[in-house]
Amino acid sequence: MDQGSGTQLGIGELRQLWAAYGHDLLLHDPGGSGECLVRRGELITSAASLDPVLDRCRRWVDDVQHDEELLLARVRLRGAERDRCVDVARETSGAAANHVHFGSPVMYGTPVMYGTGAEAQAASPIPEPPAVQWDPAVVVGVLDTGCDPHPWFRDRPWFEAVPEELDADDDAGQDRQAGHGTFVSGVLLQHAPGAVLRTQRVLSSLGFTDDYTVVAGLRSLRLAAAARGERIGVVVLTAGCHTADDECPPILREELEHWSDAVVVAAAGNQARSRPFWPAALPSVVGVAATGADGAVAEFSNFGPWVDAAALGADVTSSFVQMAGGGVRNFGYASWSGTSFAAPRVAAAAATALHEGRTPAEALEIVRQDYPFER
């Protein structure tokens, strides 16, 4: 595939795009220093804080959804307070607004599969990653749009399909972010072919997610690993958010504290800005910027002192799935650009270091040295 035309959309434009599909999102402080996108009228909290939160704002509460297994709750506000959810969260200890996370390539291009469509370009197939499995296993958690049974994966003993949703808006066309998780998984296997991948679907094929969904995905990943008796060595997250106070959403920060024994890697985002992008900007997370083939930081990549590493993120080629008529799926490969394709390359380097017997701390140091961020 080749990459479609690149367009960087502002947060307000993204809100309008997603609102057209019925998603009720609020743009907080438009154009200001605290500009961010949240789920309108939603607060999120841990199970331990739910009762105190309800005591504080019960008069504004319309509905509560409580996940007893994951120990998370959504509190939905009513009336005028729906537009004040960020301020209500500030005034309510233990609660937070539910920030919207952007899947990086939504703002920078759409892939077109090689050999299909009027704009496709002929290209030689890229080689399939070797069918090997490391012993002992190095497990990589991938939080994304899913992972389809692409030929690169489907015969590997660890593979469990998490099918991509290709047309969530039912408009008879493939969604802009559909196939993203399959692509990211291919980048990982190209650079760490012996790794075991465990996928959690947290990212919409329309290109966004939120704090609640990401935290739920991380917790589900932990629970599933415990049930299997396996240890997750690396986690890669390919979306992120801005917040009103430029601090990490509390519930996300608290969840990531449970991952101190793993190397957590996150995309730095594609807005060409230095404003912190969460969770990539957390000190405990390896925030990854994108470079071009020349090694220079890509024009679309976020940057700043909170970025830890940089890897190729422009015109990356990997596995892909595309809609065909009658429910058929075509499997092939594509080129795409974004920091979310630089992140799995760095995650693969961390997995390789663990395979070589390095500790997570040593793996973290290796990837920061081998993929330095310089701007």
Q: Could you read off the pLDDT of 69-97 as tens digits, one per residue?
A: 999 999 999 998 999 999 999 999 999 99
Give tens-digit pLDDT for 254-281.
999 999 999 999 999 999 999 999 999 9
129 secondary structure, DSSP code: P
Percent of the chain having pLDDT more than 70?
92
- Locate the domains of the chain by residue range: 11-100, 103-370
Strand locations in the chain (E): 2-3, 25-28, 36-46, 61-67, 72-77, 96-103, 111-112, 139-144, 196-201, 208-210, 232-237, 239-240, 263-267, 285-291, 309-312, 316-323, 329-336
* Residue 180 is a catalytic residue: yes
Query: Quick check: is 155 catalytic?
Result: no
* Confidence check: pLDDT of 187 > 70: yes
Which residue has better confidence, 325 or 57? 57
**CATH of region 11-100:** 3.30.70
DSSP string, 311-330: EE-SSEEEEEEEE-GGG-EE
Residue among 84, 91, 99, 107 nearest 36 (CA)? 99
Active-site position among 99, 180, 191, 242:
180
Other CB atoms within 10 A of residue 226 CB:
11
Same fold, 11-100 and 103-370: no
Work out whether the CA dihedral 25, 26, 31, 36 comes out positive or negative.
Answer: negative
pLDDT at residue 111 greater than cutoff 50:
yes
Q: Quick one: fold of 103-370?
A: Rossmann fold (3.40.50)
Active-site residue, selected from the candidate residues 28, 104, 144, 335: 144
Rounded percentage of the chain residues whose pLDDT exceeds 90: 77
Q: Identify the three-state secondary structure at position 44.
A: strand
340 is catalytic: yes
Going by C-alpha positions, the residue among 310, 312, 329, 309 that lies closest to residue 321 is: 329
